[in-house]
Amino acid sequence: MSGENKVTLAMGAGGKQTAELIDRVFARRFASSLLTADDAAVLDAPRGRMAMSTDGFIVSPSFFAGGNIGKLSICGTVNDLACMGARPLYLTCAFVIEEGYPLDKLEQIADSMAATAAEVGVTLVAGDTKVAGRGQVDGVFITTTGVGEILEGVAPAGDKAMPGDAIIVTGDVGRHGCTILLERDDFGIEADVTSDCAPLWGSVEAMFLETHDIHVIRDATRGGVGTVLYEIAGQSGVGVELDAASIPVDPAVGGVCRMLGLEPLYLACEGRLVVIAPQDVAPAIVDALRACPHSQGAEVIGRVVADRPGWVVLNTEVGTQTLLPQPTGELLPRIC
Amino acid sequence: MSDERAQKRPSAVEILATYDGPPLRIMEVCGTHTHEIFRLGIRKLLPPQVELISGPGCPVCVTPVGFIDEAIWLAAHGATITTFGDLVRVPGTSGSLATARAEGGRIQVVYSPLDAVTYAREHVDEQVVFLSVGFETTVPAACLAVDQALAEGIANFSLLTANKTMPNAYAALKDSADVFLYPGHVHAITGTQLCEDLADQGVSGVLAGFTAKELVTALAVAVRKGGEGRPFFVNAYPRVVRPEGSPAAVALIDKLMEPCDTEWRGLGVIPQSGLKLREEYASVDARRVFDMPHIEGRANPACRCGEVLQGKCKPSDCPLFGRGCTPQHPVGACMVSGEGACSAYYQYGGEVL
C-alpha cells in the first residue's frame, strides 16, 4: 500500500503507530544508552561551565546540494555551541512533519542527522515527533537544542575584538545561500555550487589546542560573513578592515553573484566561522584550521582597527577604500 | 616595443593620479557603471579637478513619477502587474506598487519579461501587464516577450512602456559633461556609429566595460584624451562592443516599436528619446487595452533626484539624503535602485569615508 510509505496523521497521535514511526525512522539510527523510552533523558552534568543553544530549521527545499535539513539541524546547533568554545555533548530534536511526507525521505534526513552527530561525537538524547495536517507545515521542520561543555580557560565573545587583531574566515563564503538560491530556480541559472553545511567543532577544538588566545568566534549563518562582522564591530566598538582580494569566494558563487548583483559576504554560510585573534597567533590558527577537513580553505581576510568604530571597510582591488554596505536583512526567506 | 619600455609606460591608475590638465567633468551614463565605480572606490583615484557625474542611466531612476501612477491605476482597475522587483518600492505621487499590493492589488515580481508571459499563460482569467522600462539593453527582451505572446495567441498580456533610448539623451546632456563614459551594454546592441557621429559634432566619449580594469582604463583614456581638448571617441570595451552592434536586436525593436517623445525624471521631456509600441501592436499596449486616461505625476518637491541625475548636485546635497530618504525608506527613485546614484553614495560610504 502506498499509504505505508508516507507519514500519516495517526503516526503523530501518540499511539501504536507513533511508536512504529519512531522505531522505524529515529530510534534505530539515534540509538545510545542515553536515549530511552522514558519522559526525559538523565545525564551526567558537564564539568565546569556549560553552553546551551536552540535553533529551528525550516529550510526550503529540505534537500539541497551538499546536505539536507537533517544535517543542517545538527550542524546549526553544534556550531553555535562550538563558537562559545563548548564541546557538544547532548542534543535533543523535535520534528514537525507534514501529513503525507515520504517516509524514505524522512529516513534519509535521520541518516544524515545520525552521521553528522557521530562525526562530532555528540549524542542525541531526546526527541519529539508531531504530525501536522497537509498544508499546515511545509514538509518537515526540525528544532534542535544542544548542551556543550566549555573548554577550560576559554571565553570567546563578540565584544572582545581588539584593534590589531586578525580576522580569519574558515573557508570560502556564501556557498549555502547561493546553493539554496539556485535550488529554488527562480532565475533559471545553472551552476555547480554545493552548500558548505558542515559541523565545525573539530575545527574549533583544533584552534584551541593551538592557542587559547582567541577573542571572537562566530558562525556566519543567515546574514553571511558581512552581517557577523558588522555585529562584532558594533559589540566591540571597533572598525573592521577587509582586503577584498583575500576573501575566498568559489568562482561559481562569484559568477552567480555578479549576474544577480549580490554581495557574497551577505550570502548565508552554514559551515563557516569568523575568528578574531591577535595577529601573532593568526598564522598558527590558520594552519590548525587548514589541517581540519571542513576548514581547509581558511584565510586571513583583514584586521580589526580603531578607526571608524561600527563600520566595515573594504580595501578594493584598485587600491582604494569603500564601505561594505550595511546589512539589510535576509536576502532569502527560509534559508536554514 | 622592448620589455623595458613597456614597463615604463604609466599604468591607468598613474595616468589618473598624475593628471594636471584643465578641469574635466566625466559623466558615467550607465547605472551599473555608477554602482561599480562606487563599489570599487574609483572616485578616490581621481585628481581634484576631475569630477565624475552619475548620469541618467539607471532605468528605475529616470522613470517618471507618472509612470508609477499609471501602473498603480492599472492595478486598481483589475490588471495584474508584472515587474522587475526594484520598481515595486519606487514612490509614485501617492503610494507605490508596494502599497498598491498591500491594498489588494495583484503585483508579481518577475526576473524576465518572458516570465511575465508564462504567468499570463497560466492565469488566463487575469489581464497581465509587464512594466517595460529600461534602455536599448532591456527592450529586446520585452519585444521577445510580446513576440512570443502573439505567436502563442496569448490574449491577456500587454506592455506598459516607458522605454528610453540614449541618442537624444546624449544630445540633451552634452553641456553637463566634457566626456561621456558610454554604457557598454547599450552599444553592444546599437553599435558605435552614434558615438563616432557625436565626436564629429564635438561630443567626446569613451565606451567602457564593467570590471575594475576596464573602468579604470576607460577613465584614463577619458582623462588623457579629454585633457587634449579635441573631440574624440574611443571604444575601450572592444571585447564586447562591435561597431555594428547587434543588428538582430535592433531589427526586433524596430519591428514592434517606434520612437516617441518621453519624459525623463529630472530632465523633462526629451523629443524622440522613448519607444512605444507601433499602431499595429495596439492589442498588447496596456494604455490602449485599458483605455487609460492621461496621468500626470507629481514628485516630492524636496527630492533633488532630478538635479542629481544631471550632475548639478551631489546626493548628500539633498536635504532628504540619509534623513527622510534611505535605501530602506526611499523618497526618490535614485535611492531605490541599487544602481541609483543616491543609493550607491549612501551604501558605499559617501558620508563616512
Per residue in B219-237, pLDDT (tens digit) is 999 999 998 989 999 999 9
Residue A159 placed within a domain: no
The answer to whether B119 touches B110, Cβ cutoff 8 Å, is yes
The answer to whether B336 touches B90, Cβ cutoff 8 Å, is yes
Q: What is the mean pLDDT of chain B?
A: 91
| Neighboring chain A residues of B353 at a CB cutoff of 8 Å | 313, 321-323
Residue contact A325–B44, C-beta within 8 A: no
DSSP label at residue B136: T
Does the ipTM surpass 0.85?
Answer: no
Residue of A nearest to B337 (CA): A261
What is the average per-residue pLDDT within B183-192?
Answer: 94
What is the distance, to the nearest Å, from the Cα of residue A195 to the centroid of all Cα atoms in its chain? 11
Mark residue B22 as left, alpha or beta (left: phi above 0; alpha: psi -120 to 50; beta: remaining): beta
**Position B353 pLDDT exceeds 90:** no
| Neighboring chain B residues of A326 at a CB cutoff of 8 Å | 347
Residue of A nearest to B13 (CA): A318
| Residue recorded with cell 581576510 | A301
From chain A, which residues contact B within 8 Å (Cβ)? 186-188, 261, 308, 311, 313, 316-323, 325-326, 328
Scanning B169-228 for CB atoms below 8 A from A yields 212, 216
pLDDT tens for B30-79 read 888 999 999 999 999 999 999 998 888 788 888 999 999 999 999 999 99
Residue contact B338–A311, C-beta within 8 A: no
Are A146 and A170 part of one and the same domain? no
Structural element, H or E, at residue A231: helix A224-236
Distance in Å, alpha carbon of B347 to nearest chain A alpha carbon:
5
Q: What are phi and psi of A55, to 5 degrees?
A: -155, 140
Cell numbers for A306, please give them.
580603531
Q: Cα separation of B120 and B80, whole Å? A: 9
Residue contact B349–A322, C-beta within 8 A: yes
The answer to whether B146 touches B160, Cβ cutoff 8 Å, is no
What is the average per-residue pLDDT within B270-287?
Answer: 96
Are A6 and A57 part of one and the same domain? yes
| Proportion of chain B above pLDDT 90, given as a percent | 71
Distance in Å, alpha carbon of B330 to nearest chain A alpha carbon:
14
Residue contact A322–B13, C-beta within 8 A: no
Q: What are phi and psi of B109, to 5 degrees?
A: -85, 130
List residues bridging with B268 in a β-sheet. B264
Q: How many CB pairs under 8 A join A and B?
A: 51
Mark residue A11 as left, alpha or beta (left: phi above 0; alpha: psi -120 to 50; beta: remaining): alpha
Are A184 and A48 part of one and the same domain? no
Residue A315 placed within a domain: yes
Number of domains in chain A: 2
The reported pLDDT for the residue numbered B1 is 44
Neighbours of B91 (CB within 10 A): 24
- Fold (CATH) for B11-59+184-235: Rossmann fold (3.40.50)
Torsion angle, alpha carbons of B268, B274, B280, B286, to 10: -60
Q: Cα separation of B107 and B127, whole Å? A: 12
Distance in Å, alpha carbon of A135 to nearest chain B alpha carbon:
22
| Neighboring chain B residues of A317 at a CB cutoff of 8 Å | 40, 212
The reported pLDDT for the residue numbered A121 is 97
Are A176 and A317 part of one and the same domain? yes
Residue contact A313–B349, C-beta within 8 A: yes
The size of chain B, in residues, is: 353
Relative to beta strand A140-150, strand A239-243 is: unpaired
pLDDT tens for B75-132 read 999 999 999 988 998 889 999 999 999 999 999 999 899 999 999 999 999 999 999 9
- pTM of the full structure: 0.88
pLDDT tens for A137-148 read 999 999 999 999
Are A193 and A297 part of one and the same domain? yes
DSSP label at residue A280: G
Q: Quick one: angle between helices A175-184 and A251-260, nearest 10?
A: 60
Distance in Å, alpha carbon of A206 to nearest chain B alpha carbon:
36
The reported pLDDT for the residue numbered B3 is 52
To test the contact with chain B by mutation, choose from A320, A324, A330 the residue with the greatest count of B C-beta atoms within 10 A, namely A320
Q: Cα separation of A197 and A83, whole Å? A: 15
pLDDT tens for B304-323 read 888 887 778 888 899 999 88
Mark residue B94 as left, alpha or beta (left: phi above 0; alpha: psi -120 to 50; beta: remaining): beta
| CA dihedral (A19, A21, A24, A27) positive or negative | negative
Give residue B4's pLDDT band: very low, low, confident or very high (50, 70, 90). Answer: low
| Neighboring chain B residues of A313 at a CB cutoff of 8 Å | 349, 353
Are A180 and A247 part of one and the same domain? yes
Residue of B nearest to A263 (CA): B39
Residue contact B352–A311, C-beta within 8 A: yes
The reported pLDDT for the residue numbered A285 is 98
Neighbours of B178 (CB within 10 A): 22
Are A123 and A34 part of one and the same domain? yes
Closest CA to B179 of B234, B129, B127, B243: B234
3-state DSSP assignment of residue B21 = coil
The reported pLDDT for the residue numbered A3 is 53
Distance in Å, alpha carbon of A269 to nearest chain B alpha carbon:
23
| Residue recorded with cell 530632465 | B267
Residue contact B353–A187, C-beta within 8 A: no
Are A138 and A189 part of one and the same domain? no
The answer to whether A317 touches B40, Cβ cutoff 8 Å, is yes
CATH superfamily of this structure's domain B60-165+245-289: HypD, alpha/beta domain 2 (3.40.50.11740)
Neighbours of A330 (CB within 10 A): 16
The reported pLDDT for the residue numbered A15 is 86
Distance in Å, alpha carbon of A243 to nearest chain B alpha carbon:
12
What is the average per-residue pLDDT within B253-279?
Answer: 94
Are A196 and A89 part of one and the same domain? no
The reported pLDDT for the residue numbered A2 is 45
| Neighboring chain A residues of B327 at a CB cutoff of 8 Å | 328
Residue A109 domain boundaries: 2-150
pLDDT < 50 stretches in chain A: 1-2
Residue A160 placed within a domain: no
In chain B, list all ranges with CATH 3.40.50.11750: 11-59+184-235
Q: Cα separation of B236 and B241, whole Å? A: 9
Rg value, chain B, Cα = 21
Residue A277 placed within a domain: yes
Q: Cα separation of B191 and B242, whole Å? A: 6
